[in-house]
Structure 1
Amino acid sequence: MNIKQVILWASWILVTLVLSVYLTTSLLGQDKSSFLPGETTHGHYQIEMACEACHTTFDGVKQETCLECHATELEAANDSHPESKFLDPRNADMLEQLDALKCITCHVEHRPGMTRKFGVTLPPDYCIYCHENLVEDRPSHEGMPFNECTDCHNYHDNTALYEDFLVKNLHQADTLGNPVTIGRNFREIYRLDPKYPLKPLTMADQDAPEGVDLKKGEDWIASSHANAGINCMGCHGVEQPETNTPVWVDKADHRACKTCHDLEVSGFLAGRHGMRLAENLSPMTTDMARQPMKKDVHKELNCTSCHQDHQFNTDARHAAVDACLECHADDHSRAYKASPHFRVWNEEMKGQAAKGSGISCATCHLPREVIKQNGIERTVVQHNQNLNLRPNQKMIRGVCMNCHGLGFSIDSLVDSELVRNNFSEPPSVHIESLEMAEKRIKK
C-alpha cells in the first residue's frame, strides 16, 4: 500500500469517526435538528427536539403516542369520529376509503408542503370519502362543495355545532343580560382540609435559611399564601430523594406550584406555554415562538412569568391582561385595548362594574371550568391556553355563550377580520346553520 492510499484510508477513517461522534452527540443531546426530515407543524414545533415524544425506536409513530397527549381532549369533546364508529361492522367499508383509526392518516408531520390548517395533510375535500351521498339526507346542502365542509363542521369537536344544540339555541339575543364570569372556589375547597384553618404567618414566622435575601418578604406577608400558612420552604424547599429533606432553591418552578395547584399546572404543561417543560426540555421563550412577539422581551415561560411571585392575590390585572400583552404582538392582541371587551374589563378594575363582568385576555383564553375532583366540584382556570383555539368554534360553549347568543357567536368567530381587530364591531359574516336546522325540524 503506497503513501497516497494510506493517506486516503486515514482520511476516510478520520472523517467517519468525526461524523459518528457528531451524529451520536446530536442524537443524545437536546439539539436534534440535524435529524429533522422537514418542518414541524404549529402544534408540535416546540417539542420537535424531543423525538421520543412521538417516535418509538423501531416502530415509527404509534397511535398511543398521539393519544397520550390528545385522548383527554377528544373525550371531553365527545369526538364526532371516534374509533368505535369505524370499528362498527356497518361502517367497515369506510375504512377502505380512509383509515380513520389512525391519527397519522390525516395528520402527517414534517410535510410542510402538504400541511393545511389544523395540521391536516389530506386534500381539503376529504369528507367526500364517506359523505358522497350527503344530499340525499340533507337537501339543504345541495351544491355545497366538499372542500368547504370545515367552514361549518369540525371533524372532532362539534359540541357547539350539532343540530340538536343549534335547535335548542335558536333566536337568542346577540348579548345576554348582565353576564358575569364564575368565581374560583379554591379557598372554599381548602377549608375542607382537616388541618384548616392554619395560622396566618408573620415575618417572624418565616423559615428561609440564614443568608437568604428577604427583600420580597413584605409582598409574601400580604399574600394569600402567608395568610393560609404557606411558609417560604413550602415553595422554595425541594425535597432531596437521598435524604428526604428539603433544600432551598431561589427560584421555585412549576413543580412547587403543582403541590397545591395540580389541575392548573397540568393544563399549563399541556398548552403552548408549558409543553416543553412536560418533555423535560428548556422552558419556552418568546424567541422560539412562530407567532408575532415583542422583540425585546426574551422571556422564559413558567408560572411566575404571568403570576408575579409573592404578589399572587394582587396581580389579577397583570396575570389576566398585562402579562399577555408584555409578549404577544399579533394584531388580535394589539387591538385588545381598543375593544369593547377591554372597556368593560377596565370598568371592573376601576370598581365601576360588577366583579366578574369584565372581559380580559384570560376570560376567553384561560376560561373558568367546573371540574369534579374527588367528589368535589372545583372552579378552576384552564391553563391550557390553546385548548379552545383550533378550530376557534371550540370557544363557543365554554366562552362566547357566557355572554352572547349562539348565532352571534358563530358569526363572530368565522369573521376573520373581526377576530383580527378583537371584536371591535358586530360581525359582517353570517352563517346559516341555525336557519337550516330550524327548517329541518319544521319539515
Structure 2
Amino acid sequence: MRIATLFALFLLAPFAFATTCVECHKNVTPNIVSDWQLSKHAQNSIDCSTCHGSDHTSKDDVNEVKLPTPDTCKMCHSQQVEQFSKGKHAFAWAAMKAMPTFHWQPMVTTEGMKGCGGCHKIGLKTEEEIKQLKAQGAGFGVASCDACHTRHTFSTVEARQPQACQTCHMGFDHPQWEMYSSSKHGVRYLLKQNGTLPEKTAAPTCQTCHMQEGNHEVRTAWG
C-alpha cells in the first residue's frame, strides 16, 4: 500500500508543480501561460519543469530557473537538433562575432543581443558565452529553436510560414523577404493566406527550398 501511494505521488508531482507555476505566472506573465496552454507541450503534459527545471519555486529564487538551450530541446527532438547543428543557422552567432564591423559598433547598440544579435542569437553558443550573456542581463535568446518556433506556443504551423523567416531575413543589408514577397512565389503564397487563391494552389515558401522535407539543416541553394 505504501509503495502504491509513493508511486502515485511520484506520478502526480509534475502536475502539481505545473499547477503551482501556472497559478503564479497567470499574474506575473499571463501571456506566457496562455501561450503554453495552447501548445502541444501542454497537450502532452510537458510542463514548465521539463524545460526550466524545478529549482525555481518562488519570487525569491528566480535566478535558479534554467533557461533552455538546444540541448534542452534535444531531449525530445534529437533529430531536429542534430540537423539544425549542421546547418547555416547554427553558425549565425559565430559568424556575427567574426565580423570586424560588428565589433566596431557602440556597445549600447550590441549589448544584450540588441542590433545584429537580435537575429544572430539563433546560432549555437558555448557554455562560457551563455554565462557571459546571462551576466550581462541577456537571459533569453540561447535556445535557438524559439527563433522560429516562438515561445511558448512552439508551433510547427507558425515555423512553416514564410513570415517566420521575415523577422530576420529583411532590411537593406539582407532583403530576402522583400525579394520573396514581391516574387511570384511569395505573391501566390500570400494570396493563398488571405483566401484569394485556393488552398491547394502551388506556392513555394522559404521552407520548401531551404528545409526540404522538414530537414532542419537549413541550407542555401548553393550549399
TM bin (shorter chain): 0.5 to 0.7
CA distance in 2, matches of 1:327, 1:289: 17
State the partner residue of 1:346.
190
TM-score, normalised relative to structure 1: 0.31
Name the % identity. Answer: 25
Per-residue deviation, 1:211: 6.6
| In the alignment, structure 1 residue 390 sits paired with structure 2 residue 206 | no
CA distance in 2, matches of 1:218, 1:359: 32
RMSD of the TM alignment (CA)? 3.9
Per-residue deviation, 1:221: 0.3
Per-residue deviation, 1:261: 1.2
TM-score, normalised relative to structure 2: 0.57
Contact 2:88 2:217 in 1 (8 A): yes
Point out the structure with the larger helix share.
2
State the partner residue of 1:208.
21
Per-residue deviation, 1:222: 0.8
Contact 1:286 1:327 in 2 (8 A): no
CA distance in 1, matches of 2:35, 2:216: 24
Contact 1:207 1:232 in 2 (8 A): no
Find the partner of 1:360 among 205, 213, 220. Answer: 205
Count of aligned residue pairs for this structure pair: 160
State the partner residue of 1:298.
117
Per-residue deviation, 1:257: 1.1
State the partner residue of 1:193.
none
Contact 1:207 1:231 in 2 (8 A): no
Return the letter of the residue paired with 1:232. C
Matches within 5 A, 1:7-406: 205-206=18-19, 208=21, 213-215=28-30, 216-237=32-53, 248-249=65-66, 251-275=67-91, 283-284=93-94, 296-299=115-118, 300-301=121-122, 302-313=144-155, 316=158, 320-329=161-170, 330-351=174-195, 352-354=197-199, 357-368=202-213, 381-386=214-219, 389-390=221-222
Structure 1 stretches lacking a partner, 5+ long? 1-200, 240-246, 277-282, 369-380, 392-443
Contact 1:285 1:298 in 2 (8 A): no
CA distance in 1, matches of 2:54, 2:90: 20
Residues 289 and 264 of structure 1, relative CA distance in 2, 3 Å threshold: farther
Per-residue deviation, 1:269: 0.8
- Note the alpha carbon deviations across 1:23-50, whole angstroms, 9 max, x for none: xxxxxxxxxxxxxxxxxxxxxxxxxxxx
Matches within 5 A, 1:415-434: none
CA distance in 2, matches of 1:356, 1:206: 44
Does the residue aligned with 1:335 lie in a helix, a strand or coil? helix
Per-residue deviation, 1:336: 0.6
Point out the structure with the larger strand share.
1
Per-residue deviation, 1:224: 1.3
Does the residue aligned with 1:307 lie in a helix, a strand or coil? coil
Does the residue aligned with 2:117 lie in a helix, a strand or coil? coil
CA distance in 1, matches of 2:98, 2:181: 26
Per-residue deviation, 1:348: 3.4
Per-residue deviation, 1:356: 8.6
Structure 2 stretches lacking a partner, 5+ long? 1-13, 56-63, 101-113, 123-143
- Note the alpha carbon deviations across 1:373-411, whole angstroms, 9 max, x for none: xxxxxxxx211112x6335xxxxxxxxxxxxxxxxxxxx
Q: Which has the larger radius of gyration?
A: 1
CA distance in 2, matches of 1:203, 1:322: 37
CA distance in 2, matches of 1:284, 1:207: 39
